[in-house]
Structure formats: structure tokens, C-alpha cells
Amino acid sequence: MSEQQYLFRADQRRRRKSRGTVIFLLLCLLVVLVFADSAVRLGNDGTSTTTEGQGLSNGKQFNGRQEAFLLAQKAEEYRAGHPFNGNYGAASYTLCYADGSQQRVPSPIAPGYDNTTDKTKPRNYTHSEQALYRWLQNQLAATSFDPQTLAGLYVIIFSQVGICDLCLSEMVSWQATLRQVAQTKALYLAIWEIQWGTPSAFSPTEQPKGTGTPVAIADLRRVTIRLTP
Ligand SMILES: [Zn+2]
């Protein structure tokens, strides 16, 4: 092999090598793009993630947003017949079984206002969420189910106005307590409210009858709480 031939072949090898590197990098980019795309899809599609307190039970889904919407409609309907310058809230719990069957138990409507009369109780004792939490504890203590067939127990608390800071700080432990009361770790709590600034939001002190605009499912917001396990 002449020196020229040798140099020519070495050059060819280098080119082949660099072409290989470019193809490898393009493949890497493709893989990253595919992953990024599916991550974005998962993030946008609320029904395919568990971020809204949803879970699969043998192919059947529990839809937390849909349940919060039912409670919101119920509270709105109640307000139309019972004008009130305070909040209305509602809760429910749904037992989802492995065979796909469900059992839903809604609470009565709970009015919420500041406690200014009973000095032995905190100011938020009379908030709707607190009343609903007490109702849930009583109900779940008396609820029996076969833990072998239970796929999930989904608890939703809904409020027409934003949850106050005092309640928010207390809610951190609510799921853990309800799990203890119901004697299952498969209990999932989610708190929902009407998002302030949306067409569905209103101030009960100014509009005790509501606004007359039907509550929209998209205007509901799941409150972010770092629940203790
Ligand atoms: Zn409160």
C-alpha cells in the first residue's frame, strides 16, 4: 500500500466514523422527542394521570374532576333555593371495587361561615370543609367493606369559595386520619374549589343567590396539598 493509499483509507475510516456519530446523535434526539411528546400528552390529559385523585379499578375510572363538578352543581342548585351570604360545600366518598362496581355516598350540603360566637372553638370550626370532614369521619368509621375486593376509596371535598389558609394547613393530615378511620390505605382524598377569577367564581357576601351563570367543570381547581401518607 502506498502512503497515498494509506492516507486515503484512513480518511475514509474517519468519515465513516463521524457519519456514524451523527446518525447516533440523531437517533438520540428522536428518542428524546418521543419521550417529551408523551410526557406532554400525559400532562395535558387529566384523565390519564392520577394527579386529580383518579384511579383505575379494573378498567373503570374514578374521575375526581367529574365528581367535584357534581358536588359543585349540587351546591349551586341548593344556593338558588337557599340564598346565603356564606359558603356552601359538599363532599362524597366512592367505594370502587375490583369488579368495576362502585358505591357513591354524597354528603348533605354544608354551610360555611366564621365562628364568632363559640369562644371554645377556633374561627374555622364552622367552615364547610370542617363540617364535611367531621361527617366523613363518622361515615367512614361505620363503613364496612371487603379489603380484598376494594380497589380504591375516593373522597372528594368541594367548596364554592377558596379554602382558607387555616384549613389548608390542617388538611395536610386529613387523608392519613381518614385512612385510619376507614382502616384502608387505599383511601385517596382530594379537595376541590372554584378557581378565583373564572366565570364560575363569585363572592357569597355580595351574591348570596349566586350569579346565575352555571358552574363550569373547567373552572374547578384541585387544591394542592402535601398530604402526609
Ligand atoms: Zn377554612
pLDDT tens-place string over residues 188-229: 999 999 999 999 999 999 999 999 999 999 999 999 999 998
User: Are 55 and 153 within 8 A, CB to CB?
Assistant: no
Give the closest residue to 226 by CA, choosing from 153, 187, 178, 170. Answer: 170
Across the range 48-63, mean pLDDT stands at: 52
Distance, CA 130 to ligand 1 centroid (Å)? Answer: 7
* pLDDT band with cut points at 50, 70 and 90 for residue 81: very high
* pLDDT band with cut points at 50, 70 and 90 for residue 12: low
Give the closest residue to 164 by CA, choosing from 128, 209, 213, 110. Answer: 128
pLDDT, residue 229, reads 84
The Cα–Cα gap between 209 and 107 comes to 21
Kindly state the cell numbers that stand for 191. 379537595
Distance, CA 42 to ligand 1 centroid (Å)? Answer: 32
Distance, CA 163 to ligand 1 centroid (Å)? Answer: 5
The Cα–Cα gap between 37 and 180 comes to 40
pLDDT, residue 19, reads 67
User: Are 218 and 66 within 8 A, CB to CB?
Assistant: no
User: Are 96 and 60 within 8 A, CB to CB?
Assistant: yes
Distance, CA 170 to ligand 1 centroid (Å)? Answer: 9
User: Are 185 and 150 within 8 A, CB to CB?
Assistant: no
Q: What is the mean pLDDT of the chain?
A: 84
Distance, CA 150 to ligand 1 centroid (Å)? Answer: 31
| Global model pTM greater than 0.85 | no
- Check whether 28 has a pLDDT greater than 50: no
